[in-house]
Amino acid sequence: MNESRRQFTRHALQSLTALALIDGLAAHRLFGDDVRPAVDDWLKQLDAISRDVKDERIKDTEFQLALEGLYRKVDLPGLLKTLDFERMARGVNYKDRGETSLPVDFKQVAGLPTKLVWGRQIFALKKGRSVVPHGHDKMATGFLVLSGRPHGRHFDRVEDGDDHYLIRPTIDRNFAPGEFSTVSDHKDNVHWFTNDLDEPAFLFNVHVIGINPENSNPAGRVYVDPMGEKVSGGLIKARKLTHTEANEMYG
Ligand SMILES: [Fe+2]
């Protein structure tokens, strides 16, 4: 082996050693033995209820209850460790409007399928920003507050009109870390989270899309203006918005 080739090999090996060390440190920091089994088990239960609703073994409202049950018993410090939350929170590049969505990867969790039926992300809100008011079709989802004290509002979507929805307020309060709320086609369908505080807010989100075959609308989000005219029965006539409009008005 000539000199330059030997050098190249040595450098390559040094790099590999450095990478292995970084990997090892990350694994040690993130997934200490004290945390891993409890959070892994919780994630496996999350996966199980998501597959249940996706495969129509349970109704979306039953999924909501199950998701709330899991959120209620979450080991929040353990989940934060698994998400490497501190490092992630320091590195957020906040968008000017609306929520900043951060990817969440659970590939390292033993026993989870490689292809998950449930989406997951973290929404980061700096002061004055919001998860703009929106409803959902063929979808069940839920937020768990990881950090901060966002103001959360939910509404039942009572009726779909041509250019508006009739909605009824159901939840309107501040959420502390560990508190949560859920959404389905049938209950608390519209939600809206704002952060009015200096401290940023972080919300963990799980969602299952493409459920409820009886709903003929396209699966996904619809945007609404919940500050519409108050009509009889405690309802609000909430104009349909585009994503751009919702972002301009409420983002
Ligand atoms: Fe949503």
Q: What is the Å distance from ligand 1's center to 24 Cα? A: 36
Q: Is the pLDDT of residue 71 over 50?
A: yes
Q: What is the Å distance from ligand 1's center to 133 Cα? A: 8
Q: Is the pLDDT of residue 204 over 50?
A: yes
| Domain range annotation of the chain | 1-30, 35-250
Q: What is the DSSP string of 161-189?
A: -SSEEEEEEEEEEE--TT-EEEE-SSSS-
Contact 236/154 with Cβ under 8 angstroms? no
Q: What is the Å distance from ligand 1's center to 42 Cα? A: 22
Q: What is the Å distance from ligand 1's center to 232 Cα? A: 26
Q: What is the Å distance from ligand 1's center to 229 Cα? A: 23
Query: pLDDT for 221-235, tens place per residue?
Result: 999 999 999 999 999
Q: Is the pLDDT of residue 3 over 50?
A: yes
pLDDT value of position 227:
97
Q: What is the Å distance from ligand 1's center to 243 Cα? A: 13
Q: What is the Å distance from ligand 1's center to 191 Cα? A: 6
* Per-residue tokens: 142: 């839920």
Q: What is the Å distance from ligand 1's center to 132 Cα? A: 9
Q: What is the Å distance from ligand 1's center to 141 Cα? A: 7
Q: What is the Å distance from ligand 1's center to 29 Cα? A: 32
The residue whose two tokens read 């200490």 is 32
Q: What is the Å distance from ligand 1's center to 59 Cα? A: 18
pTM for the model stands at 0.85
Contact 196/250 with Cβ under 8 angstroms? no
Query: pLDDT for 149-197, tens place per residue?
Result: 999 999 999 999 999 999 999 999 999 999 999 999 999 999 999 999 9
Query: pLDDT for 101-146, tens place per residue?
Result: 999 988 888 889 989 999 999 999 999 999 999 999 999 999 999 9
**At the topology level of CATH, where does 35-250 sit?**
Jelly Rolls (2.60.120)
d(CA 181, CA 135): 14
Contact 146/195 with Cβ under 8 angstroms? no
Helix (H, G, I), strand (E, B) or coil at 226: strand
Residue in 156, 174, 173, 179 with CA at minimum distance from that of residue 238: 156
CB atoms within 10 A of CB 190: 25
d(CA 84, CA 86): 6
Out of 31-40, 147-156, 204-213, pick the least confident: 31-40
Q: What is the Å distance from ligand 1's center to 2 Cα? A: 61
